[in-house]
Structure 1
Amino acid sequence: MQNSAPIKLSDLTKGITTALRQAFGQGRFWVIADVSNHSFKAEKGYHNFELVEKDTASSDVIARVAAKAWGNGTRSITAFEEKTGQKFKSNIHVLVLVTVEYHPVFGISANLLDIDTNFTLGVLEQQRHATLQRLVTENEFIREINGQYSTTNKQLPLGRVIQNVALLTSSISAGAEDFRHTLMHNTFGFGFRIDDYFVPVQGDKNAAVFLEKLIDIYKSGIPYDAVVITRGGGAQSDFLIFDNYRIARAAAKFPIPIITGLGHQKNQSLTDMMVHSQTKTPTKAAELIIAHNREFQQEVNAFQKDIIIGAQLVLASHKNTIATAKQQVLHGARDITLSQNAALSSLSGALARHTQALLNSRSRKLARLTANLSAELRLNLQKNSNALALTKDKIHRSPKALIKNRQAKLDAFKATVKLMSPENILKKGYAMVKVSGEVVSSAAGIEKGMPIEVIFAKATLHTTVHEKITHDGTGTNL
Structure 2
Amino acid sequence: MASSMENKLRLSELNNRVKGVLQDAFPTAVWVIAEISEMKVNRSGHCYMVLVEKDEDSDEVLAQARGTIWSYTFRMLRPFFETTAGQPLSEGMKVLVNATVEFHPLYGFSLNIRDIDPTYTMGDMARKRLEVVNRLKDEGVFEMNKELELPLVPQKIAVISSSTAAGYQDFHNQLNKNAYGYRFYTHLFPALMQGNQASESIIAALEHIYLYEDFFDVVVIIRGGGSQLDLSCFDDYELAFHITQFPLPVITGIGHEKDDTISDMVAHTRMKTPTAVAEFLIAGVMQFDVHLDELQQEFVNSVEDILAESRQRLDSAVKTLKPVVQQLLFNRQKKLSRYGWQLESSVSEILRNNEYRLSRKKDEIKELSGRIIHDNRYKLDEYRHFISRASAHQLEEGKSKLDNLLEKLKGQSKSRFSAEKNHLLLAEKRKELLNPLNILKRGYSITYHNGNALKETAQLQEGDEVRTLLKDGTFTSRVLNKENKSSKK
The TM-score, its normalising length taken from structure 2, stands at 0.55
What secondary structure, in the 3-state scheme, does the structure 1 residue paired with 2:197 have?
helix
Query: Does 2:49 correspond to 1:49?
Result: yes
- Whether 2:261 is the aligned partner of 1:260: answer no
- Where do 1:176-325 residues align within 5 Å? 176-220=168-212, 222-236=214-228, 238-317=230-309
Equivalent residue for 1:29? 30
Unaligned runs of 5+ in 1: 143-148, 333-478
Greater shift, 261-270 or 303-312, is seen at 303-312
1:184-204 per-position Cα deviation (integer Å, ceiling 9, x unaligned) = 222322211111111112234
Q: Secondary structure at the match of 1:250?
A: helix
How many Å separate the matches in 1 of 2:215 and 2:57?
52
Q: Does residue 104 of structure 2 align to residue 111 of structure 1?
A: no
CA distance 1:114–1:326, change in 2 (3 Å): same
Q: CA deviation at 1:265?
A: 1.0
8 A contact 1:227–1:259 mirrored in 2? yes
Alignment of 1:97-176 (within 5 A): 97-100=98-101, 106=107, 109-137=110-138, 139-140=139-140, 142=141, 149-151=142-144, 153-176=145-168
* Structure 2 CA distance for partners of 1:97 and 1:325, relative to 1, 3 Å: same
Alignment match, 1:376: none
Shift in Å, 1:47: 0.5
Does the CA-based 8 Å contact 1:83-1:236 persist in structure 2? no
1:230 and 1:56, CA in 2 relative to 1: closer, same or farther beyond 3 A? closer
CA deviations 1:338-383 (Å, max 9, x no partner) are xxxxxxxxxxxxxxxxxxxxxxxxxxxxxxxxxxxxxxxxxxxxxx
Give 3-state SS (helix, strand or coil) of 1:150's partner: coil
Deviation at 1:221, TM superposition (A): 5.6
Q: Say whether the 8 Å CA contact 1:84–1:236 is kept in structure 2.
A: no
The AA in structure 2 aligned to 1:44 is S
Q: How many residues align?
A: 322
Question: 2:158 corresponds to which letter in structure 1?
Answer: A
Please give the residue correspondences for 1:375-390 in structure 2 after superposition, counting only pairs within 5 Å.
none
| 1:82–1:236 CA contact under 8 A, matched in 2 | no
Q: CA RMSD in A?
A: 4.1
Q: What is the deviation of 1:252?
A: 0.8
Contact kept in structure 1, 2:157 and 2:217, CA below 8 Å: yes
Structure 1 position 327, deviation (Å): 8.8
Offset of residue 223 of structure 1:
2.3
1:348-427 alignment runs, 5 A limit: none
Q: Encode CA deviations 1:72-124: one digit per residue, 9 max, x unaligned.
A: 33431344245445553445321012245566765664332221111112222
Aligned residues of 1:51 and 1:67 also touching (Cα < 8 A): no
Structure 2 Cα separation of the partners of residues 236 and 204 of structure 1: 15
Distance 1:136-1:311 versus aligned 2 partners, 3 A rule: closer
Q: Which has the larger radius of gyration?
A: 2
CA displacement at 1:281 relative to structure 2:
1.4
Deviation at 1:315, TM superposition (A): 4.8
SS of the equivalent of 1:229 reads: strand
1:309–1:40 CA distance, 2 compared to 1 (3 A) = same
CA distance in 1, matches of 2:301, 2:91: 72
Q: Structure 1 residue 227: deviation in Å? A: 1.0
How big is the shift at 1:293? Answer: 1.7
Counterpart Cα distance in 1 of 2:308 and 2:119? 76
Say if 2:264 and 2:270, in contact at 8 Å, map to a contact too.
yes
- Does the 8 A contact of 2:88 with 2:230 survive in 1? no
Q: Is 171-180 or 14-23 further displaced after alignment?
A: 14-23
Q: TM-score when scaled to structure 1?
A: 0.57
Q: Distance in 1 between matches of 2:71 and 2:180?
A: 55
- The structure-2 alpha-carbon separation of the partners of 1:19 and 1:195, relative to structure 1 and needing over 3 Å to count, comes to closer
Instruction: Report the AA paired with residue 235 of structure 2.
Output: D
8 Å Cα contact 1:259/1:277 also seen in 2? yes
Question: Using the alignment, how far apart are the partners of 1:91 and 1:316 within structure 2?
Answer: 76
SS in 2 for 1:203: coil
Residue 198 of structure 1 aligns to which amino acid in structure 2?
P
Amino acid at match of 2:285: N
Aligned to 1:439: none
The Cα shift of 1:14 comes to: 8.8
Could you tell me how far apart the structure 2 residues matched to 1:199 and 1:284 are? 20
| Separation (CA, whole Å) in 2 of partners of 1:201 and 1:286 | 19
Give structure 2 stretches of 5+ with no counterpart.
324-489
Counterpart AA for 1:150: E
The C-alpha deviation readout for 1:155-183, integer Å capped at 9, x for no partner, is 11112211111111111221112222222
Aligned-residue identity in percent: 32
Q: What does the per-residue CA deviation read over 1:201-251, in whole Å, with 9 as the maximum and x for residues that have no partner?
A: 223424333223212212126522211111124234532222222221221
Contact in 1 for aligned 2:97/2:115 (Cα 8 Å)? yes
Q: Deviations over 1:384-434 (max 9, x none)?
A: xxxxxxxxxxxxxxxxxxxxxxxxxxxxxxxxxxxxxxxxxxxxxxxxxxx
Secondary structure at 1:202's aligned position in 2?
coil
For 1:154, what is the secondary structure of its paired residue? coil
> Take 2:90 and 2:312, find their aligned partners in 1: how far apart are those partners?
86
CA gap 1:258/1:22 in 2 versus in 1, 3 angstroms: closer
CA shift, 1:254, in A, is 1.2
2:130 maps to a residue whose letter is H
